[in-house]
Structure 1
Amino acid sequence: MNEMWLHRADLAESAINERHAQAVWSIPRTNLAVAAWPPHTKEKLFYRWHYWWQAHYLDCLIDAATRRPTRSRKQRIKETIRGIKVRNFGSFTRNNYYDDKLWLALALGRAHNLFGLRRPKYLKVLENNILAGVDPVTSVFPWRVGETFFNVPTNGPAAIMLARRGNLGQARFIIDWIFDNLIDDNGLVMDGIRMSMNGPEIVKPTHPYCQGVVIGACLELALRLKNRPDAREDAVIYLAHLRAVVHAVEKEMATPQGVIDWKTGDGDGGLFKGILVRYLAEVAVRLPDDNEANSATKKIAKRLVMASAESLWNHRLEVDGLPVFATDWLADAKLPHNYGLTTNSLSDFVRIVRIDERDLSVQLSGWMLLEAAARIAANEK
């Protein structure tokens, strides 16, 4: 079973790298993932490139290299980090969206851990740039520079980053703010709070990735607080929060069989379910199995990931022996174009026919899910 999921994750990795990976503007020793397959000219030239999609591509490369370290995998990670910097005109901080920068900071932090290196200067610069953006009134992070929208897709990753850095007080403040203000009647995490002339307005949609980052942040906090004799009781708070959100996801976002069933489409939404299962896998592997409530939550997290991965795999298409994943994990994948039948009209054709599976984001979610399943399978005793 373990080898089967490793093999499937390998095929997902190969599919993304063969179809999407290329040097930035033909510059040696750089790499990025083209935003769609088959790509338009603007995508081939990285005019349309999506900073935060590349952060998740980097995360997936790190997943694969963590699973089976090879020289070529580590080299591609280094080239991708270089590629992001080159395409962002020499700086990781040149971006007005704090959520974008936070996704990259998390991925770069994982890369430095993989290589066993001291935290590089560029990561410290990026993290400090993010931390300088905290809102002085609310003490949480805005979605982007000059914005009065404070959302979970920014503050969840911020809490994860802060917890990993050891800034537990600030991480706790953010998570407490989310649970005080942004949990709906079903126990799911809502999107955020927008400050308006009429006062705070709750933005109510409950996206899968909002659940994922809050689960991830609660786990990071709980694990660190448990290791501090003066804070072990506080860890119980975040374990309870984590368990509640995992149970809500099972009840509200999955089928009775455990398949994550949430329509996220293409574009940025294509990544939302992948981010959720990344952090569900964290729970399945890292949550301490020291009481009945935790054991039950670990089983739920594992079931959600493995059932979703099986469904995704069963509904894939194959092109040249490599998978194309569906945006809907319960439906058959659609071919991004009439493969092998087009010539120079291909670019015009894909402009007319909008197929979600064409987007890198959708395919990355599939890869993330298979890496999550491989991680859980490898952890089985």
Structure 2
Amino acid sequence: MTTPQLSGARAGVAERAVESRHLRRVWGLPGTVLGSAGWPVDWPGRVHVRFNYWWQAHLLDCVLDAQLRAPSEARLKLVRRLVRGIRVRNLVGWTNDFYDDVAWLGLALQRADRAGVGNPHAVDVIARRLRSGWTDHGGGGIWWKRNDDFKNVPANGPAAIFFARLAGTGGEREDLTRARSIVDWMRDCLRDPDTGLFWDGLHVHPDGSVREVEKNFYTYCQGVVLGACVELGPPYQDLAAEVIASVDKHLAAQGVLRGHGGGDGGLFSGILVRYLAQAALRLDRPEAAKAADLVFRSADAVWDNRSMVVSGPLFGPEWTEATGRAVAGSAERDLSVQLGGWMALEAAALLEREGGTPPRDPVTPPRR
């Protein structure tokens, strides 16, 4: 059973494990660091051949979670090194061709600014790129990638959160309207009427008409819609509450979120847990309690099913299953999977600090 402050201690252990196993300088340059894509780290990982831009944005977000949990100058120094490492390794500036990647870095940089590590130029560059991504093809929304035919929730959700936050910190007057328009488009064009969940995205013809809808359900999609609704406040509270109820019914087992394997999928449920925690704290609806329950149960399952290896716990891609070994081809090697588990623990720690009440009946028995 989770006890007071235990979630924070668990998050701290996860933080140290990820940092000790994955963090490496960028090409030996002082003042830089990035997370190696896999552990044990092979030679491509040591020199960051695989960059995984958006994984690094979530690594930065996790470090900022830890800074909120236990502020220190050492973490702020690590934030600066991560930001510099991302810029150095990205080579061509702050952005790339993927609007979802860019939005995630923008969100992390906004949080870094609030923590005292500001980079207004980078945020401005990202804002201009995201603003340019909206077109009327498929009814609206921003593209997944430049010069592509796909518009999806994974790009539009974080962009809406970014614009909503930017509107409150001196962005353009239209940024709040942009955030609302994005959420309205996702609700109108990409919501399944039967489950209330949000589909992945849609492909369009050159003339703007819809060619095909990708009707996959990912925890990622529900998380970013929920996060945007929470940021936008009262007009979207009912939709936020409906998303929580749909997630509980269709994407969780005994209150634990389902996984999506390794690779990019390793981050999906961590993203949802992050925004469930925000909903638990800020949503003025009865479903806020359900959001908190999903956070605590998922975090308990992450911890209970961990394995212990060099430098601490290792997490798996399916939180209700025992974690396997970090060997070639296994999801447990992926930084994304480890960040997903760490995010869940930080989300529980946040609710714990705010007086949240963990469930009395753990889903899985504690490991011995």
TM-score for the superposition, normalised by structure 2: 0.90
1:274 pairs with one of 270, 275, 278: 270
Aligned amino acid, residue 196 of structure 1: H
1:320 pairs with one of 310, 314, 323: 310
1:286 pairs with one of 282, 299, 309: 282
Supply the distance in 2 between the matched residues of 1:136 and 1:283 (Cα, whole angstroms): 30
2:320 pairs with one of 330, 352, 367: 330
Supply the distance in 2 between the matched residues of 1:135 and 1:144 (Cα, whole angstroms): 13
Q: CA deviation at 1:40?
A: 2.3
| Count of aligned pairs | 343
Residue 183 in structure 1 maps to residue 180 in structure 2: no
Residue equivalent to 1:202: 213
Residue equivalent to 1:32: 34
1:219 pairs with one of 224, 230, 234: 230
Contact 1:37/1:358, CA 8 A, preserved across alignment: yes
Output the aligned Cα RMSD. 1.5
Supply the distance in 2 between the matched residues of 1:124 and 1:181 (Cα, whole angstroms): 29
Residue equivalent to 1:258: 255
Q: What SS does the aligned partner of 2:199 have?
A: coil
Pairs within 5 Å for 1:66-215? 66-89=68-91, 91-93=93-95, 95-115=96-116, 117=118, 120-137=120-137, 138-166=139-167, 167-184=175-192, 185-196=194-205, 199-215=210-226
Q: What SS does the aligned partner of 1:124 have?
A: helix
CA 1:116/1:335 → structure 2, altered by over 3 Å: closer, same or farther?
closer
1:303 pairs with one of 278, 293, 298: 293
Supply the distance in 1 between the matched residues of 2:144 and 2:22 (Cα, whole angstroms): 28
Aligned amino acid, residue 309 of structure 2: V
Where does the alignment leave 5 or more consecutive residues of structure 1 unmatched?
223-234, 289-293, 338-349
Aligned amino acid, residue 158 of structure 2: P
Q: What SS does the aligned partner of 2:86 have?
A: helix
Contact 2:16/2:311, CA 8 A, preserved across alignment: no
Aligned amino acid, residue 246 of structure 2: A
Contact 2:140/2:185, CA 8 A, preserved across alignment: no
Q: CA deviation at 1:116?
A: 7.1
Aligned amino acid, residue 215 of structure 1: L
Q: What SS does the aligned partner of 2:27 have?
A: helix
Supply the distance in 1 between the matched residues of 2:82 and 2:74 (Cα, whole angstroms): 12
Q: What SS does the aligned partner of 2:5 have?
A: helix
Supply the distance in 2 between the matched residues of 1:305 and 1:155 (Cα, whole angstroms): 24
CA 1:183/1:91 → structure 2, altered by over 3 Å: closer, same or farther?
same
Supply the distance in 1 between the matched residues of 2:204 and 2:340 (Cα, whole angstroms): 32
Residue 357 in structure 1 maps to residue 346 in structure 2: no
Residue equivalent to 1:380: 355
Where does the alignment leave 5 or more consecutive residues of structure 2 unmatched?
168-174, 357-368
Supply the distance in 2 between the matched residues of 1:141 and 1:242 (Cα, whole angstroms): 21
Supply the distance in 1 between the matched residues of 2:9 and 2:334 (Cα, whole angstroms): 23
Tell me the alpha carbon deviations over residues 156-175 of structure 1, each in whole angstroms, 9 at most, x when there is no partner. 01111111122221111111
Q: Kindly report structure 1 stretches of 4+ aligned residues shifted beyond 3 Å.
A: 136-139, 196-200
Tell me the alpha carbon deviations over residues 214-253 of structure 1, each in whole angstroms, 9 at most, x when there is no partner. 000001001xxxxxxxxxxxx34x1110000100000001
**Which of 200-209 and 28-37 deviates more?**
200-209
Contact 2:79/2:117, CA 8 A, preserved across alignment: no
Tell me the alpha carbon deviations over residues 141-160 of structure 1, each in whole angstroms, 9 at most, x when there is no partner. 10001012110000001111
Q: CA deviation at 1:319?
A: 1.3
Contact 2:307/2:323, CA 8 A, preserved across alignment: yes
Q: What SS does the aligned partner of 2:144 have?
A: coil
Give the share of equivalent positions with the same residue, in percent.
42
CA 1:329/1:114 → structure 2, altered by over 3 Å: closer, same or farther?
same
Residue equivalent to 1:13: 15
Q: What SS does the aligned partner of 1:25 have?
A: coil
Q: What SS does the aligned partner of 2:67 have?
A: helix
Q: CA deviation at 1:321?
A: 5.2
Supply the distance in 1 between the matched residues of 2:323 and 2:101 (Cα, whole angstroms): 28
Contact 1:105/1:126, CA 8 A, preserved across alignment: yes
Residue equivalent to 1:43: 45
**Which of 279-288 and 61-70 deviates more?**
279-288
Contact 2:141/2:186, CA 8 A, preserved across alignment: no
